[in-house]
C-alpha cells in the first residue's frame, strides 16, 4: 500500500503567523492557498454563527409547546436562513476552503491551481449571502416550488439571485480542486493510484461541485423567470410541473450533501495518519470509496422525494437499490478510519490532541447517522415515519452537525498553529469538545426520538404530548449547550490568537507507540 503521509517533521508544515506575515490588503488579494483557505473558513465560521443564532431562536421557541417568543412568520424565516446558510454558506465553503489550505502541501506542489476561481467563488458567496439576508425568504431551505414562487415578500427575487450565485460560487470553488489534482499528476508523473487520498478527495469533490452546482443555478434562474412570469416551468397553475422542480432541484440536492462531506473526508485522510503517526489501513480502499461514492452519488437523488406517489414504482425500486448501494463506499471510508485506529496503539499524545478528539467524535457521529441511513433508504419505513417527521432532520443533523460540524472544528484546531504560530488554550478546547460531543449526541438522539413519535417537521408549535414535550425540551437544552460550546470556541480563538503559547515546531507530529510485532510488517513509507 502506498504511504499516505510522510509523518516525520516536514518543512512544509511549520507553524507560522500568517496574520503577521500578510497585511489586511494582501489577505484580500493574495492567491496563496493558505490565505484563500483562511478567508473561506473565517467567512464560513461567521455563517455558522448566523445559522447557529437562527437555530437557537428556533430552539427557544420550540422548547415548550405553544407560541412564546416568535410567531410562525419569523420562525419560518429562521428555518430558511438556518438551513440555507448552514449548508450552502457554512458547510460547503468551510470544507472546500480547508481543502484549499492543505492540498498543495499534501500533494507537494507549490500552490493550488486556478486560484482566480477560488477568489471569484468567495466573492460570489459573499454577495449571495448578503442578498439572502436582505431578502429574508420564508420558503424553507428546500425552496419547493410552487410554494416558493407564491408565498413571498417584495424582495424575494434577491433570494433567487442568491441561489443562482451560490451555484456559481460552488462551481467556481470546484475548479481549483480538480486542476490541482491534475497538476499533481502532471508535475509528479506518478500513477493516479499513487495520489494521496486528499488528492482523490479533491478530484472527486471538485467533480461533484462542478457537475452538480450548475443545476442549482439553473433552478435559480427558472425560479426567477417563473417569478417574473416569463416562464411557468415550476408553476402548475400556469401549466408547469412541480415534479420538474423536484427532479431538477434534487439532482443538485443529493450530490450537494457530498459537497461538504468529500472535502472533509479528504482532509480527514490527511489528518488521521498524521495524528496516529502511522499509515492508513488501506490506501486503495479509500480510492475505491471515493470513486464509487462519486458515481453512486449522482444516482440516488430521487430518494429525497420518494414517498411521493408521483414517482413511478419501478423508479422507486431503482432508487431504493442505488440508495442501498451508497452504504458500500461510505462503509469503506468509515471502516478505513476505524481500522487505521484499530491496527495499532493510539499514543497518549494523540489521545490528548484536540483535533484527534474531534475526529473520533466525527467518526462516531457519521456512524450514528450512517447506520440509520439504511433505514431511510427503505421505502416502506420512509413512507411511514421518516419523511416529514423529525427523523429526517435527525439523520442529516447527525451527518452535518455530527460529522461536518465536528470535523470542521477538528480542522480548525488542527490548522490553528499553522495559521497563527500559536497554540490554542487546551483547557477551553477540551471543554468545547466535551460540551459538543454529548450535546450533539443528545440533540440528534432526541430528534430521532421525536421522529419515531411522528413529530412533524417545520412546525412552530406542537401538541403537548408528553413524548414530544420532553423530547423538544432536551433537544433545546442540547442545542443551547452546543451554542455555548461555540461561544467557548470563539473566546478560545480570540484569546489564543494574541496570547497563546508560541509554537516553534510542527505540533501535530505524533509518535506511534504500537509495539513491534513479528507478525506485522514494519510501517514504511516506501511508496511515498
Partner 1 sequence: MIIRIWATLMVLVVGGVWLLAIPFSPAPILKTGTVISEYRAMGLVPDVGNITEAEDLGHGVFEVPAEDAGHLATESAKGNMNASSMPGMKMEGQTMPKQTQQSMAMPEMDSTSGMKMTDKSMPKSSDMATDGPAMSGMAGMKMVGETMPKPTGMTSDATVSGGKMDMAPQGTANQKMPVMMKQSMSAGNDGPKESSGSMNTTDHGGDDASDGLVLIAQGSPAEVDEILVKKGIAVDTTSVVNMVEWGFDSGMVMVKPGQKVRMKITNTGNIPHEFMIMNMAAMNAINYRLTRPDWNLLEHEAFSEVPFIMPGDRVDFVIEVDKPGMWMYMCMFPYHMQMGMMGTLLTPDMMGEMNMGGMKM
Question: Cβ 237 to partner 1, closest distance in Å?
Answer: 6
Question: Checking DSSP bridges between strand 422-423 and strand 501-502, what pairing results, if any?
Answer: antiparallel
Q: 46 or 375, CB closer to partner 1?
A: 46
| Footprint on residues 467-506 left by partner 1 (CB under 8 A) | 490, 493-494, 497
Element (H, E) at 154: none
**CA torsion, points 403, 409, 413, 416, in degrees to nearest 10?**
120
Give how far Cα 431 sits from Cα of 145, 239, 428, Å.
43, 56, 5
In this structure, the number of other CB atoms found within 10 A of the CB of residue 222 comes to 24
Q: 1 or 126, CB closer to partner 1?
A: 126
Q: Kindly indicate which of the ranges 66-74, 248-256, 273-281, 511-519 contains the residues binding partner 1, using the contact rule CB under 8 A.
A: 66-74
Element (H, E) at 502: strand 501-502
Partnered with residue 456 across adjacent β-strands are: 389
Site for partner 1 (CB under 8 A): which residue of 29, 229, 520, 524?
A: 229
Q: 209 or 222, CB closer to partner 1?
A: 222
Question: Cβ 23 to partner 1, closest distance in Å?
Answer: 9
Q: Is 27 in the site for partner 1 (CB under 8 A)?
A: yes
Q: Are 446 and 399 in contact (CB under 8 A)?
A: no
Q: Is 144 in the site for partner 1 (CB under 8 A)?
A: no
Contacts of 490 (CB under 8 A, 6+ apart): none
Concatenated DSSP letters of 447-490: HHHHHHTTPBSS-S-----HHHHHHHHHHHHHHHHHHHHHHHHH
User: How many whole angstroms separate alpha carbon 153 and alpha carbon 334?
Assistant: 44
Site for partner 1 (CB under 8 A): which residue of 1, 152, 288, 431?
A: 152
Listed residue (441, 427, 417) closest to 504, CA to CA: 417
| Footprint on residues 376-435 left by partner 1 (CB under 8 A) | none
Q: 53 or 428, CB closer to partner 1?
A: 53
Q: Are 333 and 289 in contact (CB under 8 A)?
A: yes
Question: Cβ 320 to partner 1, closest distance in Å?
Answer: 22
Site for partner 1 (CB under 8 A): which residue of 4, 32, 170, 235?
A: 235
Question: Cβ 429 to partner 1, closest distance in Å?
Answer: 16
The angle, 0 to 180 degrees and rounded to 10, between the axes of the packed helices 242-276 and 92-107 is 40
The angle, 0 to 180 degrees and rounded to 10, between the axes of the packed helices 115-135 and 33-62 is 20
Q: 57 or 106, CB closer to partner 1?
A: 57
Q: Kindly indicate which of the ranges 230-238, 313-321, 337-345, 436-444 contains the residues binding partner 1, using the contact rule CB under 8 A.
A: 230-238
| Footprint on residues 156-185 left by partner 1 (CB under 8 A) | none
Would you give the binding string for partner 1 spanning residues 186-225, x where CB under 8 A is met? ----------------------------------------
Q: How crowded is the C-beta side of 101, counted as CA atoms within 13 Å?
A: 28
| Footprint on residues 69-98 left by partner 1 (CB under 8 A) | 70, 73-74, 77-78, 81
User: How many whole angstroms separate alpha carbon 265 and alpha carbon 267?
Assistant: 5
Q: Is 154 in the site for partner 1 (CB under 8 A)?
A: yes
Q: How many residues bind partner 1 (CB under 8 A)?
A: 43
Site for partner 1 (CB under 8 A): which residue of 84, 117, 145, 149?
A: 149
What 3-state DSSP class applies to 528? coil
Would you give the binding string for partner 1 spanning residues 39-58, x where CB under 8 A is met? ---x--xx--xx-xxx--x-
Q: Kindly indicate which of the ranges 98-106, 150-158, 264-272, 504-512 contains the residues binding partner 1, using the contact rule CB under 8 A.
A: 150-158
Q: Are 254 and 304 in contact (CB under 8 A)?
A: yes
Q: Kindly indicate which of the ranges 116-124, 431-439, 457-465, 473-481 contains the residues binding partner 1, using the contact rule CB under 8 A.
A: 457-465
Residues that bind partner 1 (CB under 8 A): 19, 24, 27, 42, 45-46, 49-50, 52-54, 57, 65-66, 70, 73-74, 77-78, 81, 133-134, 136, 138, 149-155, 227, 229, 235, 237-238, 461, 463-464, 490, 493-494, 497
Amino acid at each position: 500500500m502506498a504511504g499516505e503521509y510522510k509523518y516525520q517533521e516536514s518543512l512544509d508544515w511549520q507553524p507560522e503567523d500568517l496574520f503577521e506575515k500578510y497585511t489586511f490588503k494582501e489577505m484580500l488579494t493574495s492567491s496563496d492557498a493558505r490565505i484563500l483557505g483562511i478567508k473561506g473558513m473565517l467567512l464560513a465560521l461567521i455563517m455558522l454563527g448566523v445559522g447557529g443564532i437562527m437555530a437557537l431562536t428556533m430552539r427557544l421557541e420550540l422548547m415548550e409547546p405553544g407560541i412564546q417568543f416568535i410567531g410562525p412568520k419569523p420562525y419560518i424565516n429562521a428555518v430558511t436562513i438556518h438551513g440555507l446558510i448552514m449548508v450552502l454558506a457554512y458547510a460547503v465553503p468551510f470544507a472546500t476552503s480547508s481543502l484549499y489550505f492543505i492540498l498543495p502541501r499534501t500533494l507537494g506542489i507549490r500552490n493550488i491551481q486556478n486560484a482566480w476561481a477560488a477568489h471569484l467563488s468567495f466573492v460570489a458567496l459573499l454577495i449571495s449571502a448578503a442578498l439572502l439576508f436582505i431578502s429574508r425568504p420564508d420558503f424553507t431551505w428546500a425552496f419547493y416550488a410552487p410554494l416558493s414562487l407564491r408565498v413571498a415578500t417584495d424582495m424575494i427575487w434577491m433570494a433567487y439571485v442568491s441561489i443562482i450565485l451560490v451555484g456559481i460560487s460552488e462551481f467556481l470553488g470546484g475548479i481549483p480542486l480538480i486542476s490541482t489534482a491534475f497538476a499533481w499528476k502532471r508535475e509528479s508523473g506518478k500513477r493516479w493510484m499513487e495520489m494521496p487520498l486528499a488528492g482523490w478527495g479533491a478530484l472527486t469533490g471538485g467533480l461533484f461541485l462542478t457537475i452538480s452546482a450548475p443545476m442549482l443555478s439553473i433552478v435559480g434562474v427558472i425560479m426567477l423567470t417563473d417569478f417574473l412570469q416569463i416562464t411557468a416551468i415550476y408553476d402548475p397553475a400556469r401549466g408547469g410541473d412541480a415534479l420538474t422542480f423536484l427532479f431538477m432541484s434534487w439532482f443538485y440536492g443529493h450530490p450537494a450533501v457530498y459537497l461538504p462531506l468529500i472535502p472533509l473526508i479528504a482532509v480527514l485522510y490527511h489528518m488521521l495518519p498524521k495524528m496516529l503517526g502511522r499509515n492508513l489501513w488501506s490506501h486503495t480502499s479509500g480510492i475505491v470509496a471515493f470513486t464509487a461514492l462519486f458515481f453512486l452519488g449522482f444516482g440516488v437523488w430521487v430518494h429525497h422525494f420518494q414517498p411521493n406517489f408521483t414517482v413511478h414504482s419501478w423508479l422507486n425500486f431503482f432508487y431504493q437499490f442505488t440508495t442501498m448501494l451508497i452504504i458500500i463506499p461510505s462503509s469503506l471510508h468509515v471502516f478505513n478510519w476505524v481500522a487505521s485506529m484499530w491496527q495499532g496503539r493510539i499514543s497518549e499524545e494523540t489521545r490528548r490532541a484536540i483535533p484527534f478528539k474531534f475526529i473520533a467524535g466525527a467518526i462516531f457521529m457519521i456512524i450514528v447517522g450512517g447506520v440509520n441511513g439504511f433505514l431511510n433508504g427503505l421505502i416502506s419505513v420512509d413512507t411511514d415515519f421518516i419523511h416529514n417527521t423529525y427523523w429526517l432532520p435527525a439523520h442529516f443533523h447527525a451527518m452535518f452537525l455530527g460529522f461536518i460540524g465536528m470535523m470542521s472544528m477538528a480542522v480548525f484546531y488542527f490548522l490553528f498553529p499553522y495559521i497563527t504560530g500559536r497554540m490554542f488554550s487546551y483547557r477551553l478546547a477540551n471543554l468545547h469538545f466535551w460540551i459538543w460531543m454529548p450535546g450533539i449526541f443528545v440533540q440528534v438522539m432526541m430528534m430521532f426520538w421525536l421522529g419515531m413519535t411522528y413529530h412533524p417537521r417545520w412546525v412552530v408549535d406542537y401538541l403537548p404530548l408528553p413524548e414530544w414535550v420532553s423530547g423538544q425540551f432536551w433537544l433545546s437544552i442540547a442545542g443551547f449547550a452546543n451554542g455555548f460550546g461555540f461561544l467557548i470556541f470563539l473566546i478560545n480563538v480570540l484569546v489564543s490568537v494574541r496570547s497563546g503559547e508560541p509554537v516553534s515546531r510542527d505540533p501535530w507530529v505524533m509518535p506511534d507507540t504500537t509495539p513491534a510485532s513479528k507478525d506485522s510488517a514494519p510501517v514504511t513509507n516506501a511508496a511515498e
